[in-house]
């Protein structure tokens, strides 16, 4: 009986070690790419930006991605972040999969810091008859401060936090 228990414990430990090694290799290989940034909504409470994200899975196994969060910073200062929703995505082995747009809410005070130096009044006047979102999209193209996005998510129950990527 003791031999069976010892074999069971060793087999269980071996499986756990193998799974830990597999998850560690997974975290080191998965990469993300920002596929697009656009204004989703503009209101008096702030700005909502839609950031498209694609995930590259070069491993030989399908990966389940859950709860993606995108945090925006500018010169290491927090601007806004997306909500960690219960979204779950399957990324096939050796494929790049888009997980769609992630909405990031930016309070108006933070939005004003990234639009600093842009003549918004003149910009909005130039877009008379156009939607406010069109004017905001044009303003985003004139942003002079660097804006970085840092993406974090769970990949097969392992938390992955990637280095910031410049988006604007």
pLDDT in tens, 20-34: 555 555 556 777 788
Q: Give the pLDDT of residue 24.
A: 56
Average pLDDT rounded to a whole number, residues 110-134: 62
pTM tops 0.85: no
**Which residue is it, tokens 């193209």?**
141
Question: Mean pLDDT, the chain, as a whole number?
Answer: 75
> What share of the chain has pLDDT > 90, as a percent?
0
Domain harbouring 23, CATH code: 2.60.40.10
Of the candidates 156, 6, 164, 44, the residue with the CA atom closest to the CA atom of residue 93 = 156
Domain containing residue 150: 2-166
pLDDT, greater one: 108 or 168: 108
pLDDT the model gives residue 150: 87
Count of domains observed in the chain: 1
Rounded Cα gap, residues 164 and 160, in angstroms: 13
Q: Model confidence over 77-106: pLDDT tens digits? A: 888 888 888 888 888 888 888 888 888 888
Radius of gyration from C-alpha coordinates of the chain: 21
**Selection from 103, 101, 105 nearest residue 80 by Cα:** 105
């Amino acid at each position: 009986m003791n031999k069976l228990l010892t074999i069971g414990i060793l087999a269980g430990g071996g499986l756990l070690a193998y799974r830990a090694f597999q998850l560690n290799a997974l975290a080191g290989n998965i990469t993300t790419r920002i596929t697009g940034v656009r204004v989703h909504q503009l209101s008096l409470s702030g700005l909502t930006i839609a950031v498209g994200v694609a995930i590259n899975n070069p491993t030989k196994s399908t990966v389940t991605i859950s709860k993606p969060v995108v945090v925006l910073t500018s010169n290491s200062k927090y601007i806004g972040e997306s909500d960690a929703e219960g979204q779950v995505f399957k990324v096939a082995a050796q494929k790049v999969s888009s997980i769609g747009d992630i909405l990031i809410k930016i309070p108006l005070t933070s939005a004003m810091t990234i639009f600093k130096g842009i003549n918004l009044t003149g910009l909005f006047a130039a877009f008379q008859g156009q939607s406010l979102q069109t004017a905001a999209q044009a303003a985003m193209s004139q942003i002079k401060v660097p804006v970085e996005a840092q993406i974090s998510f769970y990949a097969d129950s392992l938390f992955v936090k990637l280095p910031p990527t410049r988006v604007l």
